[in-house]
Amino acid sequence: MELVDQFLRKINYLRVSVTDRCDLRCVYCMKEKMNFLPKNEVLSLEEIERLCDNFIELGVEKIRLTGGEPLVRKNIIHLIENLNKKKSLTNLKEITLTTNGSLLKKFAKDLKNNGINRINVSLDTINKEKYKKITRFGNLDNVLEGIDEAINHKINVKINTVVFKNFNEYNMSDLIDWANKKLLDLTFIEVMPMSDTDMPRHMQFVSLDNVFKELNNRYNFYKSNYRTGGPSNYYTSEKLNIKVGFITPLSNNFCATCNRVRISSTGKLYMCLGQNDFVDFREILRTDRGDDYIKEKIRFALSVKPKQHDFIINSEVKPYINRHMNETGG
């Protein structure tokens, strides 16, 4: 069975935010003083698993757990364990995780033992002072130790880096060289206009076209045929042993190959990261309408999945998306 949207795109990838909470406050993601959701508004692990089951039965092959920070969710390993068991019984092929790395040192072994073979770690700088500034109170050493722990447990780590104006746009080669020494692929991502933070979005945005040109002068990139099923365009270089990706939702729209949908921590199914439309599954799950009804609503959501996002960043337009990144996990 396959899930196909109205534009005949095969949807086989589900991203699930297991919590809106995070132990950091990255300046491009959320405000310093955040009001997180009451626990009763967030899906239980059992509700998340049931929703995942229905997506798997409809053809989803890959699930990525996100947040907030997914590893702060109590009993998250239990959910991963249950999902991992489905890989031998269903068409589910992979469970992955996106994390800020702060708790990796504690959880790396359990992640590996429960079928997590690949993770993305959000890391925007390897400068301690800058790291603390962008995360507001993060500990870089803790994250780097967590990455090493994951590597020691044979977990494939990829680095995700948001490029932020007047912060890290001019020293990306330091991060590339560090990642290259550790043989970690790295992807640069443009700031997206997801709700308001403490700084206007247009003051944060940097076009990756400009970053690419500067880095290309140093590394002489050439296009790689490598694909992960995601929106990143990968490049490599004779000077590097890794692949460097660029995700450019604003500079170069990538929606034509979209293969994913997102479940928020409250059970809202967002068909597009860059749109506000959603289908709410929380009440459906809590009134027990039955799995056939859940599948019917999933199919409906896919039938109205938009062709592309409507991201706009400039000084005259407030962010169109009325939710913070921690609600849907990017």
Residue-range domain boundaries for the chain:
13-328
pLDDT of residue 313: 53
Task: Kindly report the average pLDDT of the chain as a whole number.
Answer: 87
pLDDT of residue 249: 62
Neighbours of 173 (CB within 10 A): 14
pLDDT of residue 309: 63
Confidence category of residue 203, pLDDT binned at 50, 70, 90 = low
Residue 329's Cβ-count burial label (10 Å; 0-12, 13-18, 19+) is buried
Confidence category of residue 269, pLDDT binned at 50, 70, 90 = very high
pLDDT of residue 188: 94
pLDDT of residue 233: 87
**CATH 3.30.43.10 corresponds to the domain 13-328:** no
Q: Is the pLDDT of residue 315 over 50?
A: no
Q: Which of 66, 90, 108 is nearest to 264 (CA)?
A: 66
Mean pLDDT of 106-130: 96
Q: How far apart are CA 326 and CA 318, in angstroms?
A: 19
Confidence category of residue 319, pLDDT binned at 50, 70, 90 = very low
Q: What is the pLDDT of residues 206-254, one digit of tens each?
A: 778 888 998 999 999 999 988 776 778 899 999 999 999 998 765 556 6
Mean pLDDT of 263-274: 88
Confidence category of residue 274, pLDDT binned at 50, 70, 90 = low
Question: Over pLDDT 90: what percentage of the chain?
Answer: 60
pLDDT of residue 317: 53
Give the position of tokens 């692929």.
Answer: 185
Q: What is the pLDDT of residues 45-103, one digit of tens each?
A: 999 999 999 999 999 999 999 988 999 999 999 999 999 999 999 999 999 999 999 99
Backbone Cα Rg of the chain: 19
pLDDT of residue 330: 52
Mean pLDDT of 304-317: 63
pTM: 0.89
Q: How far apart are CA 98 and CA 281, in angstroms?
A: 23
The amino acid at residue 76 is I
**SS3 sequence of 135-160:** HCCCCHHHHHHHHHHHHHCCCEEEEE
Least confident of 33-42, 56-65, 110-119, 285-294: 33-42
